[in-house]
Structure 1
Amino acid sequence: MAKKSVQAATPAPKETQPASATDKKGKATPKRPNQSKARPPVNPPLTAKEKREALKKAGPLTKEQKKQAKDDIRAERGRIAEGQWKGDPLFDKYHLPRDRGAEKLLVRDIVDSRWSVGQYYMFGAFGILILSTSGSVQLQSYLFIALIALTAVIVIESVLLARRVKRIVFARFPKTAQRKGGLYWYAIQRSIMPRSMRSPRPRMSYKAKEDDLGKVVK
């Protein structure tokens, strides 16, 4: 029998792939850092010192210029008040020192977002004081009991409010430099003030959600 010659199949040549940048350097080329920088705010409000310096440089003003200056000041105050109400950090420096800071803003929102008996304490105490001037001894005893009950309710509300402030504020700002006692007292003082007399004015309604507290209002 004739033997069939078997030809060995020659393997096809492999295509050479170009070396990548990783093969040359041994590691991936690092990305360049983001070169974008935070831009300063557009048209920031002037401080009181800057306003005085600007007036000195301007010199004496005419009647029209004085009227225009008053209108500008009124508009600037309105813009600052609106920025403070929205919680914009740019306008935080215009608050009183006791009201400055993101923690204080959050505490104010916590107080303003809940209904409390304490906000009527001033009216209740004043009414009890007026009624106690009557000559009825029995009425005075009832008013005394009512005053004690009102005070007890406010104490309980203050304890619950302090616990809520601790839970929300220190969870959102774990490294805050604010003292717990200072924040608690700040919240209690605001809670016993009538809502219409609170300063800075309230931003939150009673239906506000916890996630919305302390945020910038758009």
Structure 2
Amino acid sequence: MFRSRSKDEQAATAKVTADQPQQPRDPQAPKGRPTPKRSQAQNQRRTRAQSAPANRKEAVKAQREARRADMARQREALAKGDERYLPVRDKGPVRRFARDYVDSRWCVAEFFLPVAVIILVLTMVRVPQIQSIALILWLVVILLIVLDSIAVWIGLTKRLKAKFPNENLKGVKPYALMRTLQMRRLRLPKPQVKRGERP
């Protein structure tokens, strides 16, 4: 019952496993390199142990530093227009084209903030005629912004369909309209084209 297997049985089992065809090794398998020497493996383990934070406080600090470095890289990319480090919402040739389309033209909406400040000052004046002028000016500015936004929407739609017929255009036109509301100097990523240039 508890006897060991005979030598004949062991030989037969070994023969069966030898007769089975071996599967070819996957070339993408991770073990496609020589095993490192023991001294190399120990050195790698030591460096990992030394670089790993000793406690939770140090781990949080290291994570905060890494996040700060990423944010600095993103800010620099936004200033220079470097595609590699831009945030996800600004990446891609379609978004770049939409930015260039907006930056290449004059938009009424970019002057909204300065005009709004002027109108606010005019409404504080206690003269009824000036207050009524401020109200009319307010309505005119809003109407001009709406008309200009419609023009940007239609023009950008035509250009995007012509230039990127097979690309996903979801969210690109609202992205462009939000950019028109920002003053040109404050836009991020920074404008890469001059006014009047065709993107």
After TM superposition, is the score higher than 0.5?
yes
User: Deviations for 1:100-124, whole angstroms, at most 9, x for unmatched residues?
Assistant: 2211111000000011222111110
1:86-97 to structure 2, matched below 5 A, reads: 88=83, 91=84, 94-97=85-88
Q: Give distance in 1, aligned partners of 2:89 and 2:78.
A: 19
Q: Give distance in 1, aligned partners of 2:176 and 2:131.
A: 32
Kept after mapping to 1: 8 A contact 2:104/2:196: yes
User: Deviations for 1:26-62, whole angstroms, at most 9, x for unmatched residues?
Assistant: xxxxxxxxxxxxxxxxxxxxxxxxxxxx9x8399xxx
Q: TM-score, normalised by structure 2?
A: 0.59
Q: 1:83 to 1:191 in 2, by over 3 A?
A: closer
Q: Give distance in 2, aligned partners of 1:155 and 1:128.
A: 18
Structure with greater helix share of residues: 2
Q: 1:109 to 1:136 in 2, by over 3 A?
A: same
Q: Which residue of 1 aligns with 2:98?
A: 107
Q: 1:144 to 1:159 in 2, by over 3 A?
A: same
Choose the corresponding residue for 1:161, options 146, 152, 169: 152
Count of residues in correspondence between the two structures = 138
Q: Give distance in 1, aligned partners of 2:121 and 2:79.
A: 41
Q: Give distance in 1, aligned partners of 2:128 and 2:76.
A: 53
Kept after mapping to 1: 8 A contact 2:107/2:180: yes
Choose the corresponding residue for 1:204, options 171, 193, 198: 193
1:139-158 to structure 2, matched below 5 A, reads: 139-158=130-149
Q: Which residue of 1 aligns with 2:32?
A: none
Q: Which residue of 2 aligns with 1:32?
A: none
Q: TM-score, normalised by structure 1?
A: 0.55
- The yes-or-no answer on 1:57 pairing with 2:51 is yes
Q: 1:83 to 1:145 in 2, by over 3 A?
A: closer
Kept after mapping to 1: 8 A contact 2:74/2:86: no
Q: Which runs of 5+ in 2 are unaligned?
A: 1-47, 54-68
The Cα RMSD (Å) is 3.0
